[in-house]
Amino acid sequence: VEFANHLGKLDESLENPDPLISAPDPQSETRMSNTLPKARDGFTSTFGVLAATLGSAVGLGNIWKFPYLTGENGGAGFLLVYVIATLLVGLPVMISEIMLGRQAKSDAVSGLIKLAPKGQPWWLIAAMGVTAAFLIMSFYSEVAAWVFAYIFKAASGEILSTDPAVTGAAFNSLITDPLQSLLWQWLVLALMGGILLMGVSKGIEAVTKRLMPVLFILLLVIGIRSLTLPGASEGLHFLFSPDFSKVTAGVVLTAMGLAFFKLSIGMGCMMTYGSYFRDDQHIPLTTVRVMCADLFVSMLAGIAIFPAVFAFGFEPTAGPSLLFITIPAVFASIPFGHLFMVLFFVLSAIAATGAMLSILEVPVSVLSERFHMSRRRATLINLLVLGAVGSTCALSNSTLADVQIAGKTFFDLFDFVSSNVLMPLGGIFLCLFVGWVWGFERMKTALTNGGELELPILKPLFFITRYVSPPLILIVMLKGLGLF
């Protein structure tokens, strides 16, 4: 209900655009469709900004990663650490990143070159971000591939069963088949390429804006069904009663990594999106809204999944397969479950699409703006590289299952390194840059839109960005990696 109200307000703001925000630039249409290297597209309304930013944040992270990590790491204790990480680290990093992006109005690498004092290599943060983008896309596109494949499995009725053995076997047969895994992944990548070429705002933004609310409603429906299953209370207990004995340094690092991954921060993605923000956009408010809505979706996913896990006798610690074996079981036990399940996977695919487009936008914008390539060429090159690098993740459960580095398959390694090393490192350096190089006065001017906005949180925010977040991230990271 809260979200529906929120959306209602957003719709109003769509119909009555903020007077502070000038009318959409008539030239932006032409700018969007041509492929001049320096053409800059941008978001045109408060709602557009929110939809795009939320579209990046909400994705498989909420529906797939959040539930399985919570399940693997002991439930409520993990959830609490995750929320704290989101507030203490996620918020300042996200605000800083969007602010720098809007200030620079260019791709992440050029942006940091532009903003940093001459000769200081802060652009390396963005270079690291591009690396992270490739690693994330490699495994993310594979999970998205499973989701797309599940649309068809759901439609055929193959996975409509409350028996873990049946749903588990269906999932296994998909992920251990090298050909299916590769083909679905390439199909997903090709689809993303097609959308990126068509332009983001007209295609995916317009679609996700309408369909995200449907995803919320569906999650609510499954949540309610899941809650009314016999034995559901055990699931709720698991999700909401913390047991701190399970919270180790490794768990804290995982929770912080999830906060970075969820908010798409520490790797230049929010900086790139920030560069499309309008100058009169309220950055801290947008950030807080995105954060709350994102958390709400994750909670809904948790409420949909955990009661069912316990009611049907699945294991909460199943890992990455959790979503693919429990969700079918919930649907199998409700009227019209067959139809709902197809819808659910279609919408998950859409959520994944919004996130993947934002990940790809990082390297695509760097190639097209920094290296003056046409958008078409930049997209094509990125997809070809991803088709190759990503195949290591597609084959991680079959042909390459035995190829392990530090005891991890490529899939697990890319996931681990991006969320637990590269994104936190990016976060540390972004905070250091804003706190020690950029400075309070510039931050004040940037965030108050040149003095237009009242921002009582400015001083504490700067303090946290300068003194709290960097050492905190560093300690969690080093301790979690077992380095001290």
DSSP 321: G
- In terms of C-beta density within 10 A (0-12 exposed, 13-18 middle, 19 or more buried), how is residue 28 classed? middle
Binding of residue 98 to ligand PFF (CB under 6 A): no
The residue within the footprint of ligand PFF, chosen from 262, 282, 370, 466 (CB under 6 A), is 262
DSSP element (H, E) containing 324: helix 322-332
Shortest Cβ distance from residue 312 to ligand PFF (Å)? 26
Smallest separation (angstroms) from ligand PFF to the CB of 261: 5
Q: Which residue is nearest to ligand PFF (CB)?
A: 61
Span from 2-10, 226-234, 239-247, 257-265 in contact with ligand PFF (CB under 6 A): 257-265
Binding-residue pattern over the window 135 to 154 for ligand PFF, x denoting contact by CB under 6 A: -x------------------
Choice between 329 and 425, CB closer to ligand PFF: 425
Task: Determine the interface stretch with ligand PFF among 177-185, 201-209, 258-266, 337-345 (rule: CB under 6 A).
Answer: 258-266
Is residue 263 within 8 A of residue 355, CB to CB? The reply is: no
Binding ligand PFF by CB under 6 A: which of 73, 264, 281, 391?
Answer: 264
Residues in the interface with ligand PFF (CB under 6 A) total 15
Contact 140, 418 (CB under 8 A): no
Angle (CA) 67 341 345, round 5°: 60
Distance between CA atoms of 323 and 67, rounded to whole angstroms? 8
Please report the DSSP string for 338-399 in residue order. HHHHHHHHHHHHHHHHHHHHHHHHHHHHIIIIIT---HHHHHHHHHHHHHHHHHHHHTTTTT
Q: Which is nearer to ligand PFF, 94 or 303 (CB)?
A: 94
Query: Is the CB of 61 or the CB of 480 nearer to ligand PFF?
Result: 61
Give the list of residues 6+ apart from residue 158 with CB closer than 8 angstroms, or none.
170
Shorter beta-carbon distance to ligand PFF: residue 100 or 355:
355
Residue 431: what residue type? C
Nearest one of 108, 84, 79, 392 to 247, comparing CA atoms: 79
Residues 52-71 that bind ligand PFF (CB under 6 A): 56-57, 59-62
Site mask, ligand PFF, residues 269-288, x = CB under 6 A? x-------------------
Total residue count of the chain as it appears in this document: 484
**Residue 408, SS3 per DSSP:** strand
Examine residue 195 and tell whether it contacts ligand PFF (CB under 6 A). Answer: no
Q: Which is nearer to ligand PFF, 136 or 239 (CB)?
A: 136
Contact 469, 92 (CB under 8 A): yes
Interaction with ligand PFF in 337-396: which residues (CB under 6 A)? Answer: 355, 358-359
Considering the complex, state which of residue 265 and residue 329 has its C-beta at the smaller distance from ligand PFF: 265
Tell me whether residue 236 or residue 271 sits nearer to ligand PFF (CB atom).
271
283-311 and 91-104 helices, crossing angle to 10° = 140
Nearest to 206 by CA among 215, 197, 216, 195: 195
Binding residues for ligand PFF, per CB under 6 A? Answer: 56-57, 59-62, 136, 261-262, 264, 267, 269, 355, 358-359
